[in-house]
Amino acid sequence: MSEQATLGTAVVTGASAGLGKIYADRLARRGHDLLLVARRAELLEEVAADLRAKYGVKVQTLAADLAAAGDLERVAKAVSTDASITLLVNNAGLSTLAPVAQTTAAQLQSMLDVNINALAHLSHTVLAAFKSRDRGTLVNIGSVLGFHTLPISSIYSGTKAFVVAFTRGLQDEVAGTGVKVQLVLPAATATDIWELSGVPMSALAEGTIMAAEDCVDAALAGLDLGEPITLPSVNDAALLATFVDTSAKLFGASQTSKPAARYLATA
């Protein structure tokens, strides 16, 4: 069996630009065939043509708006019926950075639909297939704003907090099997999501923005190392270990039938 056949097909959502486009390039370079998903069909075809020419891999495209129920179902069907799929990168995401009162109902719904519903639905679909074959890798792209909220990120941070909790739960579900689940938590990265969100990159502090290529390369290195959670920009791995440990201790401390003593004090 050839290495390419062994690697199988990788699905990348949001693949027409940003991190998704870089993921597609890096995975094709490794020898994966690809199924690329994005809303912008013309850009998606340009990416696919370039990758076919550069790496000689099979690249399929599926133009779909993951906020639309019908399109999401088309993608889920394609994923569930292709036994060659060994990897899914749930990269597609939307961001509108503004106070809740200045965010339209449509913007709110779009972030919920893509960042939460589509990611959860596709994770559910692909994991059923992976678990039946006892093989496969799911990569969910979250954000450091999944555990930190800014005055302009309440909705976006809330959606990414879901990605953090959901993906960590999935990791426990597949423990001891041949299925892998990685949670990737980038910080500020140089992609078009900033302009689309309403906050230009020029407004960010100098030295805080990572190149998209560096972010993806670090995330893939983390995957190769077997990291369940990868923060591409955090050098001190002990910080993450402490965060996870403290979270577990806080949960453990909550497991009592009695109110905390400070709530029982009498006037």
Would you name the residues annotated as active-site residues? 156
**E strands, 81-143, where?**
85-90, 136-141
**E strands, the chain, where?**
9-13, 33-38, 59-63, 85-90, 136-141, 179-184, 189-190, 210-211, 229-230
Region of 18 please: left (phi>0), alpha (psi -120 to 50) or beta.
left
Q: At what angle do helices 212-224 and 18-30 cross, to 10 degrees?
A: 50
The amino acid present at 242, given as its one-letter code, is T
